[in-house]
């Protein structure tokens, strides 16, 4: 009798062990940590939040996403390297410049060549029709799955103490440069002393006058508080900087096909949403910068041409000289741009 009772209890225990639990936490078979340098309250954080809500809803709670904003898990370069290894992070949104540096992948530096694009329409066509396929393949080789393009936008020069109308004006300031060779080479060609700083160190460096300025978009400048210590914001529009929403390939490969499809749903539509969210705000943001008492300097076409002449060809020549394997890809980019102009 005792043995039969023990056997019955054992069978019940075994059965209970394999019963599905009803709590949402138990149903979440995948928890994904998403990292980004994007601060809260920006179109970038909103885009990642929307992806989180959609994925969690469409997966029926089988996927949970935790967002870590504002470089809370390290610099962009550190987070991308982490993602590539498939360790703390399983996804996120990052600038292409940071990804190129972190992964030693110059293909991602190519779209950030100074004065490569004249407008966002050109940038969209090159990213979607020329660079998407090779970037997707190259990222896969680095342990990262491409999902969708996003954007940081047009970078401009921000300085403390005076405006910038010429390269000689800019050379008076020590500038913060993003951690990417192309950015440093641009500053060097303009005769500017520049130092690399991760995003988390830029505001302290500005406040303590270690640097006198930086270049970034109106949106990031305001969201990160970098605009506060500067006095002038010059609309040089010298670099269009894309970004991307990406996943750890290890994570994607470890999921069932139906969950993969949810995570990778409608990449073109996601790219369009991300771009629209950033672009819709520019005029309002420049008004906000002016309202803070900052001088917004709009360059004439002749003044912008002087910057373009000072750095475009020199940086391009050095870039292709250092990366001859990208001659063909750049040729495709140039041919497409020539056909649009």
Domains annotated for the chain, with CATH where assigned, are 27-340 (3.40.190.170)
Report whether pLDDT(150) > 70: yes
Mean pLDDT of 179-199: 95
CA within 13 Å, CB half, 132? 15
pLDDT bucket at 79, cuts 50 / 70 / 90: very high
311 Cβ contact partners less than 8 Å away, ≥ 6 residues apart = 114, 115, 167, 186, 189, 190, 238
pLDDT, average across residues 74-96: 94
pLDDT digits (tens, 9 = 90+) for 259-271: 999 999 999 999 9
**Is 249 in a helix, a strand, or coil?**
helix
Q: Is the confidence at residue 227, as pLDDT, over 60?
A: yes
CA atoms lying within 13 Å on the CB side of residue 71: 16
Element (H, E) at 215: strand 213-216
Over range 125-131, report the average pLDDT.
Answer: 98
What integer is the mean pLDDT of 115-135? Answer: 98
Percent of residues, the chain, with pLDDT higher than 70: 92
**Residue 23's pLDDT band (cuts 50, 70, 90):** very low
Please tell me the predicted confidence (pLDDT) of residue 27: 59
- 6 has a pLDDT exceeding 70: no
Burial of 188 (0-12, 13-18, 19+ CB in 10 A): middle
Integer angstrom CA distances of residue 53 from 48, 87, 89 = 9, 23, 18
Report the predicted TM-score, pTM, of the whole model to 2 decimal places: 0.89
Residue 7 has a pLDDT of 41
């Amino acid at each position: 009798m005792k043995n039969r009772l023990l056997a019955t209890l054992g069978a019940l225990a075994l059965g209970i062990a394999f019963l599905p639990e009803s709590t949402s936490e138990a149903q979440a078979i995948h928890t994904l940590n998403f990292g980004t340098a994007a601060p809260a309250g920006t179109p970038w954080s909103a885009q990642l939040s929307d992806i989180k809500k959609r994925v969690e809803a469409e997966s029926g709670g089988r996927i949970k996403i935790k967002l870590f904003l504002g470089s809370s898990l390290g610099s962009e370069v550190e987070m991308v390297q982490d993602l590539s290894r498939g360790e703390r992070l399983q996804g996120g949104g990052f600038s292409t410049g940071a990804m190129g540096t972190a992964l030693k992948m110059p293909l991602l530096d190519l779209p950030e060549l100074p004065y490569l694009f004249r407008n966002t329409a050109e940038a969209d066509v090159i990213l979607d029709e020329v660079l998407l396929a090779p970037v997707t393949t190259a990222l896969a080789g680095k342990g990262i799955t491409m999902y969708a393009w996003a954007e940081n936008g047009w970078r401009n020069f921000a300085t403390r103490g005076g405006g910038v109308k010429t390269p000689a004006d800019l050379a008076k300031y020590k500038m913060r440069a993003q951690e990417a060779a192309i950015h440093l080479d641009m500053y060097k060609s303009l005769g500017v002393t520049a130092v690399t700083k991760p995003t988390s160190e830029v505001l302290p460096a500005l406040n303590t006058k270690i640097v006198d300025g930086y270049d970034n978009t109106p949106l990031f400048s305001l969201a990160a508080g970098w605009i506060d210590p500067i006095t002038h914001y010059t609309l040089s529009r010298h670099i269009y900087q894309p970004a991307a929403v990406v996943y750890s390939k290890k994570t994607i490969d470890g999921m069932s096909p139906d969950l993969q499809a949810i995570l990778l749903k409608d990449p073109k539509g996601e790219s369009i949403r991300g771009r629209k969210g950033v672009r819709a705000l520019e005029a309002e943001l420049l008004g906000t910068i002016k309202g803070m008492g900052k001088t917004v300097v709009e360059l004439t076409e002749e003044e912008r041409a002087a910057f373009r002449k000072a750095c475009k060809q020199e940086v391009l020549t050095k870039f292709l000289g250092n990366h001859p394997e990208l001659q063909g890809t750049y040729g495709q980019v140039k041919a497409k741009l020539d056909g649009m102009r």
